Amino acid sequence: MFDKNPAAQSGEPDRDSSESTPYELITSGNHTEDTPEAFETEPAMDPHEPEDQMGLSTVIAFAKKLCRDFSVSASNPSDLIMLIMDGLNLSKPITKGLIMTEYSPRLATPLVEAHVSAMIDYMDYTENSGSLLIYVPFRNEPSERTREVIYMPLVRDPAKKATVTNLDLARQVFDVMLQSGEFFRRGDQIVRQFNSGETISLETINAANFCTTAYKYMMFVKKDKKYIVVEEPCLGSAIAGKVLKSHERMRLPEIKAVSNSPVIVNSNGRLDVLNMGYDGPTQILMTQQHDIPEVPLSESVEFIKELVEDFDFVSDGDRSRALSFILAPCLRQSGIGPLRAPFYLIEGNRSQAGKGVMVSIAAAANMIDFEMITIRDSGLGSFDRSLDRCLINGDRFIAFDNLRLRVNSTHLEALLTPSPVGTLSGRPFRGAEVPIDPTKTIICATTNSGEVTPDLMNRSLIIRIRKRDPGYIYRMGSEPGDWVKERGPYSLGCVLAVWREWQARGCPRAVDDRHSFVDWMAIMNWVVTEIFHEAPLLDGHEEAIQRTASPAENWLREMALSIVRHGLTDQRWTASALAQHATLHGIFPSGARPWRDEKQGNTQVGQLMRQVFETGDRCVIDGSLEIVRTTGYNPAQGRLERFYQIQQVA
C-alpha cells in the first residue's frame, strides 16, 4: 500500500491558485473532451523513477485526465486534492483486467500492470458505488490533521429515504473520531476536547453543531449511479442525530470524571499525579497540568505539623486526628487505603473557634476546590439531597457547615459502609436515581453542638478544638486556608511524601480496636505515631463519642459553655435555675421546642441531669470543664435539693 500523499512524491509543480475552479458534477455521459489528443499533453514519466513511485505518479496522471476538471489551490495545503474518476462499467468488477482493457488504451502512454496494481491499492472504492473516488489528503499546519473522506448514504428513491446505509455512515464517522483521539463519551453525550496548551475544555457534540465540528476532520461525499457531489456543509441535523445516537458511539473512550485539580493514582506501587489529558485506566480527563515537587520526608512532616499549630485542641489525640484529616483526601483518592473511611466531625466549643479554617486547610493542602454546604430541614437543601448532589457531581471533598440539628441520615450511614460497586445510588433534582461511587470521597462537617445517631457516631472521627483567646496572632495570617492554597503544589508534595514513605515501608498498620473502622484507624494510627511521632489516634475519642451521641450531655455542654462565657461559674445551680438560664439564652435539647412554661422546663432539665449523672456525681466536658453534683438543703424550698457547680479545669 502506498502512502496517501502522492502529490508530495510525484514531483509535479504546484498549480497556480488562480487556475483553480470549483468542483463540478461529473457524469458518466460527459467524456467528449477525453480525447487521445488531450492525454498526449501529459508529461512523460521518468524511466529512471523507482517502480512504486512511477506507478503512483502514473495513477495520478491517469485520474486527472479522466476527470472533466481537477482543481487544487497551491496556497492552501490543508485542502484535499480530490481525484474523481467516473464512467466505470458497474456491470463488471473493477479489476486490473478491466482497467487494462477498457481504460488504459485511452492514455497516450498505456499503463503497465504494476501501475494498475498501484492504482487499485490506492483508490477507495465500494461495490455499490456508481463512481470511483481517489483522494490525496494533505496535512494541516500546525495540527498535522488529515481530513478523511466519508461516504454518505445512497438515496435510491427521493420519496423514500434510505436508512439502511446510515450504519455504514456512522461506522466511518466514528472511525475518524476514534483515530483523532479528541472525541469521547461522557454519559449519554459525545464531547470533543480542545487543548489550548495550558488547559483542556470540552465541547458537547450534538446534531446542531456536528457539521461545523466534523468539517475539521472529514469531508462528506454523496454518490449515486450517475454522479458524485462533494457536499459542505456535510449533513443535515436529522442524519447527524441518527449518527450520534448509533451504537457505534460506544467505541469512543468514556470519560467518567473531569478534574482541574490534581488526581492521585497508585502507579507501579508509588503514588503519582496524573498529567494533563485523558487517562485510560482511570477514565479521568485532566484539564490542567500540575507539577508537584518532590519534598523530603522530614521537611514534609515539619510543614504538615505547622498547619495545625494555630489550633487549641482539647487533647493530644484530637491533634493527631487533625493531622489524619489533612492526610485523608490523598489516601482516599489514591485507592491504596481501605474502602471504609470515617465521617470527620470538627467540633468547636464556641463560634469562630476555627472549625471552617481547619476544613479549608485540609482541602487546600490536597489542592481540592470545595464549597461549604449549609443544610436545611428538608427539601432541596436537606442533608441527603445536598450529599447526593455533590456525589453525582463527583466531588472528592464534601463539607457541611455548622450542623445544629440532629443528623439522622441512613443514607450517609450506607455511604460510609462498604457496598458492592453499583449498588449505591443518588437522586438528582427532578431526575431518576443514578449510581454513585463514594469510595474516593472524604465527607466532613463542622458543628458547635451537633448531635448524631449512635450508628453514625460509630462511623465518625471527632476533632475537638477550642477558641483561642482574643488577640491571638496566627502564624499563617488571618486566612490560613488561602495561605495554604498559595502553596498548593508544595503542600500536596508534602502529603505525597508521607504516603510514599508509608508505601516504601510496606504499608504497615498499628491496630487500635477502639473504633469500628479498624483498617482506616490502623493505617492512620501508624502514620501519626511512627512518622509524626504524635499521640495515638484514638486517645480521648471515646469520651467525645459518648457525649456527641447523647442529647443530654450535648445540652449540658452547651449550658456549661454559656455559663463560663457569662462569668457565672461561681454560682451553684439548681435544675430550675438552669432551666431559666436555658430559656433566657435559647439553649434547648437538639430537636426540642421551647418549653411551654416554667414547670415543663424544670421537669425536662431534671430528666436531662439525671441521665448525665446516672453513674456518678462528676462529669468532665472537653477535658476543660467539670460539672460536680452535690446534695444540700434549700431553705427557700424547705427540702433537700440537687446543686450543680460548673468550673474550669486547669
| Confidence at residue 116, expressed as pLDDT on a 0 to 100 scale | 57
Domain assignment present for 262: no
What are 135-168's pLDDT values in tens digits? Answer: 333 223 333 344 555 555 443 333 444 433 567 7
Residue with cell 445540652: 555
Do 119 and 107 sit in the same domain of this protein? yes
Do 459 and 572 sit in the same domain of this protein? no
If you average pLDDT over residues 506-515, what whole number do you get? Answer: 93
Do 352 and 440 sit in the same domain of this protein? yes
Domain assignment present for 278: no
Would you say the pTM of this structure is higher than 0.75? no
Structure confidence at residue 593 as a pLDDT band (50, 70, 90): confident
What's the structural domain count of the chain?
4
If you average pLDDT over residues 90-94, what whole number do you get? Answer: 47
| Confidence at residue 156, expressed as pLDDT on a 0 to 100 scale | 37
Do 391 and 500 sit in the same domain of this protein? yes
**DSSP element (H, E) containing 573:** strand 572-573
Buried b (16+ CB within 10 A) or exposed e, 415-446: bbeeeeeeebebbeeeeeeeebebbbbbbbbb
Of 220-224, 319-323, 462-466, 615-619, the range with the highest mean pLDDT is 319-323
| Confidence at residue 255, expressed as pLDDT on a 0 to 100 scale | 92
Taking the C-alpha atoms of residue 260 and residue 79, their distance in angstroms, rounded to an integer, is 36
Q: Which three cell numbers stand for residue 369?
A: 476546590
Residue that finishes a domain, picked among 516, 547, 578: 547
Of 108-117, 243-252, 319-328, the range with the highest mean pLDDT is 319-328
Structure confidence at residue 56 as a pLDDT band (50, 70, 90): very low
| Confidence at residue 78, expressed as pLDDT on a 0 to 100 scale | 27
Provide the 3-class DSSP secondary structure of residue 365. Answer: helix
Cβ atoms of residues 240 and 211 within 8 Å: yes
The closest alpha carbon to 179, from 151, 126, 153, 217, belongs to: 217
Taking the C-alpha atoms of residue 176 and residue 192, their distance in angstroms, rounded to an integer, is 13
CATH of the domain at 441: 3.40.50.300
The closest alpha carbon to 133, from 14, 23, 8, belongs to: 23
| Confidence at residue 228, expressed as pLDDT on a 0 to 100 scale | 43
Lowest mean pLDDT among 41-55, 242-256, 291-305, 552-566: 41-55
Cβ atoms of residues 85 and 134 within 8 Å: yes
Domain assignment present for 273: no
- Give the range of the structural domain holding residue 38, as residue numbers without chain letter: 1-146
Residue that finishes a domain, picked among 506, 530, 547: 547
Do 432 and 378 sit in the same domain of this protein? yes
Positive or negative torsion for Cα 228, 230, 236, 240: positive
Residue that finishes a domain, picked among 146, 168, 203: 146
Looking at per-residue pLDDT, the higher value among 9 and 520 belongs to 520
Do 88 and 204 sit in the same domain of this protein? no
Do 9 and 89 sit in the same domain of this protein? yes
Cβ atoms of residues 262 and 290 within 8 Å: yes
Do 71 and 130 sit in the same domain of this protein? yes
Can you give the C-alpha Rg of the chain in angstroms? 38
Looking at per-residue pLDDT, the higher value among 179 and 106 belongs to 179
Structure confidence at residue 39 as a pLDDT band (50, 70, 90): very low
pLDDT of 13 > 60? The answer is no
| Confidence at residue 124, expressed as pLDDT on a 0 to 100 scale | 42
| Confidence at residue 59, expressed as pLDDT on a 0 to 100 scale | 44
Q: Which three cell numbers stand for residue 360?
A: 479549608
pLDDT of 3 > 70? The answer is no
If you average pLDDT over residues 170-187, what whole number do you get? Answer: 88
Domain assignment present for 283: no
Q: Which three cell numbers stand for residue 280?
A: 485510560
Domain assignment present for 403: yes
Structure confidence at residue 544 as a pLDDT band (50, 70, 90): confident
Q: Which three cell numbers stand for residue 240?
A: 447527524
Domain assignment present for 229: no
Structure confidence at residue 358 as a pLDDT band (50, 70, 90): very high
Return the DSSP state at 528: I
Q: Which three cell numbers stand for residue 480?
A: 490560613
Do 301 and 346 sit in the same domain of this protein? yes
Domain assignment present for 280: no
Domain assignment present for 282: no
Cβ atoms of residues 461 and 541 within 8 Å: yes
Provide the 3-class DSSP secondary structure of residue 256. Answer: coil
| Confidence at residue 357, expressed as pLDDT on a 0 to 100 scale | 93
Share in percent of the chain as helix, strand, coil (round to 5): 35, 20, 45
Do 541 and 602 sit in the same domain of this protein? no
Give 411's strand partners: none
| Confidence at residue 290, expressed as pLDDT on a 0 to 100 scale | 92
Do 98 and 158 sit in the same domain of this protein? no
Lowest mean pLDDT among 370-374, 447-451, 469-473, 528-532: 447-451
Count CB atoms within 10 A of the CB of residue 455.
16
What are 279-338's pLDDT values in tens digits? Answer: 999 999 999 999 999 999 999 999 999 999 999 998 999 999 999 999 999 999 998 988
The string of DSSP codes covering 600-639 is HHHHHHHHHHHHHTSS-SEEEETTTEEEEEEEEEETTTTE
Taking the C-alpha atoms of residue 474 and residue 178, their distance in angstroms, rounded to an integer, is 54
Provide the 3-class DSSP secondary structure of residue 126. Answer: coil
The answer for residues whose C-beta is within 8 angstroms of residue 265's C-beta and 6 or more apart is 271, 272, 273, 274, 279, 281, 282, 334, 335
Residue with cell 482497467: 99
Cβ atoms of residues 220 and 229 within 8 Å: no
Do 403 and 543 sit in the same domain of this protein? yes
The string of DSSP codes covering 291-336 is -PPP--HHHHHHHHHHHTTT-EESSHHHHHHHHHHHHHHHHHHHT-
The closest alpha carbon to 526, from 515, 542, 537, belongs to: 537
